[in-house]
Every structure is written in C-alpha cells, then in structure tokens.
Amino acid sequence: MRVLAWSALALALMLAPAHAQAYDPRYPVCMKVYEGGRFGGGGEWIDCSYTSLPQCRATASGRAAMCDLNPYYAPPAPPPRRAHRRHH
C-alpha cells in the first residue's frame, strides 16, 4: 500500500506545472502585480525590469502592485584591477 501511495505522489509531482524563475537577475528592482478577477480570474506576476525603486514605484502608482528589491540580482563584476608597475 505504501508503494502505491508513494507512486501516486511521485506521479502527481511530475504532472504538476513547473514555474520558471520569475526574477530577472539583471535588474535590481522588481514589481509584483496583483490582478484579481470577479470570478476567480486574474492572478499575479513579477516584472523585474526596473533599475531603481522610484522608477518602479512610478510605474506601480495607481495599480495593485508593489515594488521590492530583487533577491536574485547579480550586480556586474567590477573591472579587473590593473597591476601597478614600478619603473626602475
């Protein structure tokens, strides 16, 4: 009986829709937009295409949305330091 239960659970997990990562690591700010429908439609999504909180908040103004820092933001690496050479 346990094998059947574990098999059913494994099958359910394989058939469940997978969600891609919604956070774009190229941008430091994300806006989470909420859309509710009258009959259960709508939903929410995340738009990570903002370079600053003020820019995101201006876009979110008047909407059911909020802005926050992107937890997956990967800032660009600093340029390599040039070695200082001494002249003898």
Domain ranges of the chain: 34-74
CB 73 within 8 A of CB 28: yes
CB 44 within 8 A of CB 32: yes
Read off the pLDDT of residues 18-71 as tens digits, 9 standing for 90 and up: 445 579 999 999 999 998 766 666 789 999 999 999 999 999 999 999 999 999
- In this structure, the chain runs to a length of 88
Residue 85 vs residues 78, 80, 82, 88: alpha-carbon distances, Å: 21, 15, 9, 9
CB 63 within 8 A of CB 16: no
User: H/E element holding 32?
Assistant: strand 29-36
What does pTM read for this prediction?
A: 0.61
